[in-house]
Amino acid sequence: MSTPEFDLVALKKVGMIQQKQSEYFALRLHAIGGDFTAEQLHRVAEVAAKYGRGELHLSTRQGIEIHFVHYSRLEEARQELEAAGIAMGACGPRIRIVVACPGAATCRWGIIDTKEVAKELDAKYFRQDTPHKFKMGVTGCPHNCAKATENDLGVMGGILPAWQSESCIHCDLCVNSCPTGAIYKENNEYRLDESKCIYCSICTSNCPVDSWVAAKKGYLLWIGGTMGKIPRLGTKLGNLIETKERLYELIERVIAYYRKNGRKRERFGHMIDRIGEQQVKEELLNE
């Protein structure tokens, strides 16, 4: 069986990945936070039936892959998808599709609008080249359902709580439901040990009389998370970031730093470990 020469690198860049059955390709589709319309899903199904074997694969990054598309029909399939507003995904050493939980749009715990952040990151960075693959995840709160800490760059919503004595009925629910034991009672007052606080909003959500309020609300930035052969959880970069401008400024700096310092095929987190976590944090924050 002879197959023509493919520019596999160029194909990978647009999410077309040669299968081990070398005549066939997997088409990886673009997605933002795993959101599709019903109409788009219909079209994806039609393309899978027409150009593949009617099989779809849901990826670990909330994307869709259409498998078993013959090389002779790649362009046709792609054009049909793009006509339905579905772009191709990405593979290789570059910025991949952004994952996100549904966030504040529908979740009770959601602190930030994850869809808005995911769209912004996608618009700015999707498919851009980096030393190795670079994955971004946006999660609405520290419950971390979208696993921000397992991505090269993770954005997480968070609040810093503050206690207001006037309305408090001293029920002790906050002390007993704080997941990290950051809240304690001293001299008949509730106190917060901010070094233990994970900004999760359980105290402010639970408090029966709203004595715990969100003094600050914003974003936490995690860098260098990865799974794969050498797993590493993300490192928190600084504390709660209160404005979008500061968030995007830091993200811009993080990606530029990786491009400048990352070796070929070196994941961002492993680069951080090579240089030293403390040094990387300082260089990113104090500029």
Partner 1 sequence: MSDAVKKRLDLHGVVCPLNFVKTKLALEELNVGERLEVILDEGDAMLNVPRSLKEEGHKIIKVTPNGEVYQLIVEKGV
Q: Which residues bind partner 1 (CB under 8 A)?
A: 108, 169, 171-173, 175-177, 179, 202, 205-209
Nearer to partner 1, 179 or 238 (CB): 179
Shortest separation between residue 33's beta carbon and partner 1, angstroms: 25
Nearer to partner 1, 77 or 156 (CB): 156
Nearer to partner 1, 194 or 210 (CB): 210
Nearer to partner 1, 175 or 233 (CB): 175
Shortest separation between residue 172's beta carbon and partner 1, angstroms: 5
Shortest separation between residue 205's beta carbon and partner 1, angstroms: 5
Shortest separation between residue 175's beta carbon and partner 1, angstroms: 8
Which DSSP string do the residues of the chain spell out, in sequence order?
-------HHHHHHTTEEE-SSTTEEEEEBP-STT---HHHHHHHHHHHHHHSSS-EEE-TTS-EEEEEEEGGGHHHHHHHHHHTT--B---SSBB-PPEE--GGGT-SS--S-HHHHHHHHHHHHTT-B-SS-B-EEEESSTT-TT-GGGSSEEEEEEEEEEE-TTT-----HHHHH-TT--EEEETTEEEE-TTT-----HHHHH-TT--EEEEEEEEEEEES-B-SSS-BPPEE-SS-B--HHHHHHHHHHHHHHHHHHPPTT--HHHHHHHH-HHHHHHHHH--
Nearer to partner 1, 149 or 204 (CB): 204
Nearer to partner 1, 8 or 173 (CB): 173
Amino acid at residue number 17: I
Shortest separation between residue 207's beta carbon and partner 1, angstroms: 8
Q: Which residue has the tokens 């609300």?
A: 217
Q: How many residues does the chain have?
A: 287
Write 53-58 long-range contacts (CB < 8 A, 24+): 57/26
Shortest separation between residue 190's beta carbon and partner 1, angstroms: 13
Nearer to partner 1, 202 or 272 (CB): 202
Shortest separation between residue 174's beta carbon and partner 1, angstroms: 9
